[in-house]
Structure 1
């Protein structure tokens, strides 16, 4: 049976960037660029009609920013994953996009292999934060998360690996446990530290490490 392609919508006001991303993505089997948009208004229309699995969203567009875009896209299509891809690191706007529901946040200067890997992981339900951005987030996080239960040694090990951007599969291989077991651990960890996704967990744990 033929596998369904992961459909991706590109949202960037620079045509050359959209062309480059489209060329890169369509070289990877199983991924299809289903549409492009240069503004948030265009993006909303195409999300409504195309219902893409993933949106690659520029942080700043002529008619709004990434946080605004994330909120509206999630409202239109809650199951659509969003990766914010930007050329610069805006601390406050980064935090706002995470709060607004972004599933990934990457700098455009990362290599093509890392971009494809991020798309693949987000498609699997992972959350991705460029390692270079964790320190930026820590500068503006004010400790909204509080631990509700004590973490076990294994849970701390897993948080260390999440902080490094490891996927469930990579964590399972490193700790010699089943991937399903890792998923169960991650769910329990997020409940304990009162966060809603892996990105917030990585930020929380990085902050805890910095306080020690």
Structure 2
């Protein structure tokens, strides 16, 4: 890709060995330059506040935040940045959830340098990009794929966290300055949304998927 300047890339991955390998790999592609590497999502967000980049390569499993949630935060801070998932996670639901949160593509870590360069070039032309292996995953849903989870509103998240802490509807209503009837309505709506029969099942799903 011909360009007067090298496009800047920030990478976040919780394995420093992976980071070193990616920096080494990307140093062989002249049109791109790694300007920051991070092992925690919070470090990347702090960096983006003052140092804009063209592309963020994002792992899914991080010690302080799920990469899917982090993608949303990145797009909030820097709406124009191109976020590409770069992970070993091959679950179709993970890939689609990341795209739903604003990512422009998803690559598996087994990608080679030629395909990586091609994907980066396509991403810079505002196209959605997937490595070959990811295209196959998206095109061929597996019976073990998890369905896309519904989204919780800010208020629902607030209420569900308090329910998980053992608060009653009356206590939650007092705390949030709402009526107990409103809390009960939220409870029923959340159970219906997630197709669960009780709050314990809902709390488990929300906890397992880091929704609360």
Shared fold, TM over 0.5? yes
Which residue does the alignment assign to 2:115? Answer: 114
Which residue does the alignment assign to 1:27? Answer: 28
Note the C-alpha offset of 1:135.
4.8
Unaligned ranges ≥5, structure 2: 148-212
**Counterpart-to-counterpart distance in 1, 2:74 and 2:30:** 26
Contact 2:41 2:62 (8 Å CA) reproduced: yes
Note the C-alpha offset of 1:110.
1.8
In structure 2, do the counterparts of structure 1 residues 30 and 132 end up closer, same or farther at CA, with 3 Å as the change threshold? Answer: closer
Give TM-score scaled by structure 1 length: 0.62
**Structure of greater relative contact order (alpha carbons < 8 Å, 6+ residues apart):** 1
Contact 2:7 2:54 (8 Å CA) reproduced: yes
Which residue does the alignment assign to 1:136? Answer: 137
Note the C-alpha offset of 1:73.
0.3
**Counterpart-to-counterpart distance in 2, 1:51 and 1:27:** 22
Task: Note the 1:121-200 alignment, pairs <5 A.
Answer: 121-137=122-138, 139=141
Quick check: which has more Rg, 1 or 2?
2
SS of 1:17's partner is helix
SS of 2:97's partner is helix
**Counterpart-to-counterpart distance in 2, 1:5 and 1:136:** 32
SS of 2:24's partner is helix
Give TM-score scaled by structure 2 length: 0.62
**Counterpart-to-counterpart distance in 1, 2:136 and 2:9:** 29
Unaligned ranges ≥5, structure 1: 143-212
Contact 2:93 2:146 (8 Å CA) reproduced: no
Which residue does the alignment assign to 2:58? Answer: 57
CA distances 1:131-159 after superposition (whole Å, capped 9, x unpaired): 333453453698xxxxxxxxxxxxxxxxx
Which residue does the alignment assign to 1:83? Answer: 84
